Structure formats: structure tokens, C-alpha cells
Structure 1
Amino acid sequence: MPTPLHALIPTALALGSLAAQAVPVTVQLRGPNGQPLAGAAVAIEIKGRVGKTGTAKAEVGQRDRQFTPQLLIVQTGTAVNFPNFDTVRHHVYSFSPIKVIDIKLYTGTPTEPVVFDKPGVAALGCNIHDRMTAHVVVVDTPVFARTDDKGQATFDLPAGEHAVKAWRPGQKSPMLQSLTLDVPAAGGTRVLTLAD
């Protein structure tokens, strides 16, 4: 027997009010000297949202003897493929604590993707081409972005306090930095400063 329409209305209203609670928030990341941080990873952890995934897929290719993209942000549990689009073979590796990778010399696409099952930052390299470097930033949230040239990323977030994880290429520590974001009911722009 189908559910009566009047029984569905409270559920629809509750879901609608959850969506209405989200407000646009622009997060700007700055360095210790106040400069905007372009190309940094920023992730917002919202209470009650799933931290890990079992279905997400991503890719770090090799083209013109470079990794592309050089900064990939994924949710914990994402399967990442490493296709080689070059005519030369590459050997992808990482000795990072969150994921050790050793994909021997190959062309094409390895048969098995690499599942990034721990949060943190994995530095990638190629044993054949030393100038090839990239990073995979793994976060326990589906809410993440890479900052633009003004160091900004925009999200739709519920008002309140949220945990933030951030990382920028070139920072001294390979660890994700933990910050707090206070989202006002009206949304707006919030500035967060990363340590060096």
C-alpha cells in the first residue's frame, strides 16, 4: 500500500529545511604573512556527514612527463587510477605514511587502482623522471575544493562551527593543518590563516 501524501509532507519539509539552512560561504586561505594561498586544498568536516566513501574514483595521469593534476584532493576511500598517456614508461611511487605506492615501469593504465584509505597527504614521484612530483590530499569529508588564484573556495554550508583540514604545496610539514571555521547565519567570506 503506498504511503499517503499527508504522511510524506513532514519528511519533505524537514529535508527542505535542512537544504535551506545551507548558506554560501567563501573561505580564503592565507599564509602566515597574509598572502592568499592559491592552489591549496581546503576541506570542511560537517557533523553527521559521511567521512569515507567506497564508490568514488579519481585519476592522476602522466602526460608530457608531468603528473596531471599535480594536486588531487579526494575523499577517504577513493580509488585512484594512474594512466600513463606518454610514450615513455613511468614508475610511480610514494613512501608517504598514509599510502605506500610502488607501480613499476608501465605504459597504459595499471589494472588495479590505488585506494587511499587514510586521511593525510601522499607525495608522488617517478623513479625515472625526478622532476615529476604531485600530491594526493585525502580528507574525511565529501566537502572539499582547491583554492583559486585569490586563495578562495566557495561552499554551501550550514551555519555553525566546522572543523577544517587544509594543506598547501610547499608547506614545511607534510601533515594536514587543522583549523576551525565559524559560519554565520548569513554566510559570507571567512579568512583562515595556515601556519608555515
Structure 2
Amino acid sequence: MQPSLLRRSLRLLTVAFLLVAYSTWAAELTITVTDASGTPLPDAVVWAEPNTKLALPVPGTAAVEQKNRQFLPLVSVVQTGTSVSFPNRDKVKHHVYSFSPAKTFELKLYSGVPSTPVVFDKAGTVVLGCNIHDQMLAFIRVVDTPYFALSDSTGKATLTNVPNGPYTLAVWHYAQSNENALFEKAMVIKADEQTAVKLDINTSALQKR
């Protein structure tokens, strides 16, 4: 066999081996989140935190818009260290702020896009408001893991490419009866799995969009 063909064959074998190995240690975890009566809950934050110290990937960026005098999206989830921008798409000015322990900041009265994004460098829940429009409310959950998702309209959230091993599965929703409550469950991920979580929800706190 010619050297070039041999090298190509070896590369293909290496790729095939890595794909097989990856499929055996990376799993998909699907979580269905409902209230106590079994009604699906959208906008639940779901994440899996490894029990061993994890070298986090480089954080990305995210955005929370202001449009029609609302924050969009209502709920965001980001990895610690993520830079979040707050573009104002309205014709009126907004004054975005948070007094939450996980991140306290102010973007004083402005239009357009602030020149500097806000870095969310501490895990926890951040509640957003506007000093000008009291009805504006949104939430950012900051997590110390890259394995996270938001539940959709059917209450399902899917965590993909989760390496096998021991984790703490956590679920949080902004309308929980105890706003500081956090559902946690220890689990060992070995393959694709599905699980269900029920939360105690204060239905009057659910935001209508």
C-alpha cells in the first residue's frame, strides 16, 4: 500500500474508533418537568452538575432583549462567565437592573445596545427588572456546568453529549411556591436516560406571554 493511502486509512480508522468510543461515553438525558397535577411546565431550567471538578469550556454569549416593553426571553440559562447583552428594541428607553446576590448591576436609561455586555460570573438566580416599567420581569439562571437546557411547551428538556459518570441533576422554575427551592437528584449517567420531575408551583406567579 502506498504511504499516502496508508496514512488515509489510518486516519479513517482513528475517526471511526473515536466515534464509537464517543457514542459509548456521551449520553442524552431527557427530563420531563410538570407541576404537582402533571401539567407540563415550560421555562424550567434543568442542568447536570458533575460530582467531580469540571474544567468548564470557554463561556459563550447570550442576549436578553427588550421588546414591546417586555424582556425576551422570560427565562435564560447560561454557564458562569457568560457575557449577556441587553439590546433595547423599543422606541422608549429602559433602565435594566438586578439586585440579586448572584449579580447586582444597573444599565441606566438607554436606547439601542449598551457598548459593554454584563458578565455573569457567579452561579445562582438573577432577577431582572426595569426602573421605568414595573411590569417588566425576567430571570437568568447561572450554572457551573455546560450541560443545561430549558424545558419546552411540553415540559421536556434535553441535555446532550453528557459524559458518563456521577452527577447531581438540578431543576429550578421561577414560579415555584418556595422561590429558593431547588430540586436535586443524584444520578449516575451510563447511557441515554429519561426521567420525570414534579415541582410545587404557585400558579398565580406564572407569567403570561
TM, length-normalised to structure 2? 0.78
| Alpha-carbon distance between aligned partners in 1 of 2:199 and 2:156, rounded to the nearest angstrom | 13
Which one of the candidate residues 83, 86, 100 is aligned to 1:82?
86
- Aligned 8 A contact 2:26 2:163 in 1: yes
- Which residue of 2 is the match for residue 98 of structure 1? 102
Which one of the candidate residues 126, 129, 135 is aligned to 1:122?
126
- Which residue of 2 is the match for residue 169 of structure 1? 174
- Aligned 8 A contact 1:64 1:86 in 2: yes
Q: Tell me the SS of whatever aligns to 2:113.
A: coil
| Alpha-carbon distance between aligned partners in 2 of 1:53 and 1:186, rounded to the nearest angstrom | 22
What stretches of structure 1 of length at least 5 have no aligned partner? none
| Alpha-carbon distance between aligned partners in 1 of 2:15 and 2:51, rounded to the nearest angstrom | 20
Q: Tell me the SS of whatever aligns to 2:159.
A: strand
Q: Which moved more, 1:67-76 or 1:143-152?
A: 143-152
Kindly provide the CA deviation profile for residues 51-85 of structure 1, in whole angstroms up to 9, marking residues without a partner as x.
64544110001011111111111000000001111
What stretches of structure 2 of length at least 5 have no aligned partner? 1-6, 202-209
- Which residue of 2 is the match for residue 46 of structure 1? 50
TM, length-normalised to structure 1? 0.83
Q: Tell me the SS of whatever aligns to 2:140.
A: strand
- Aligned 8 A contact 1:179 1:192 in 2: no
User: What RMSD, in angstroms, separates the aligned Cα atoms of the two structures?
Assistant: 3.0
Shift of 1:143: 1.1
Shift of 1:177: 1.4
| Alpha-carbon distance between aligned partners in 1 of 2:99 and 2:58, rounded to the nearest angstrom | 23
| Alpha-carbon distance between aligned partners in 2 of 1:37 and 1:29, rounded to the nearest angstrom | 6
Shift of 1:129: 0.4
- Aligned 8 A contact 2:176 2:199 in 1: no
Q: How does 1:6-17 map to 2 (within 5 A)?
A: 13=17, 16-17=20-21
Shift of 1:32: 4.0
- Which residue of 2 is the match for residue 141 of structure 1? 145
* Greater helix fraction, Structure 1 or Structure 2: 2
| Alpha-carbon distance between aligned partners in 2 of 1:39 and 1:75, rounded to the nearest angstrom | 17
* Matched letter for residue 180 of structure 1: K
| Alpha-carbon distance between aligned partners in 2 of 1:176 and 1:81, rounded to the nearest angstrom | 28
Shift of 1:183: 5.4
- Aligned 8 A contact 1:159 1:182 in 2: no
| Alpha-carbon distance between aligned partners in 2 of 1:184 and 1:55, rounded to the nearest angstrom | 24
Kindly provide the CA deviation profile for residues 15-72 of structure 1, in whole angstroms up to 9, marking residues without a partner as x.
7414422233311123344443221111112356846454411000101111111111
| Alpha-carbon distance between aligned partners in 2 of 1:78 and 1:176, rounded to the nearest angstrom | 24
| Alpha-carbon distance between aligned partners in 1 of 2:175 and 2:130, rounded to the nearest angstrom | 19
* Matched letter for residue 69 of structure 2: R
* Matched letter for residue 118 of structure 2: V
| Alpha-carbon distance between aligned partners in 2 of 1:37 and 1:139, rounded to the nearest angstrom | 20
Bigger Rg over Cα: 2
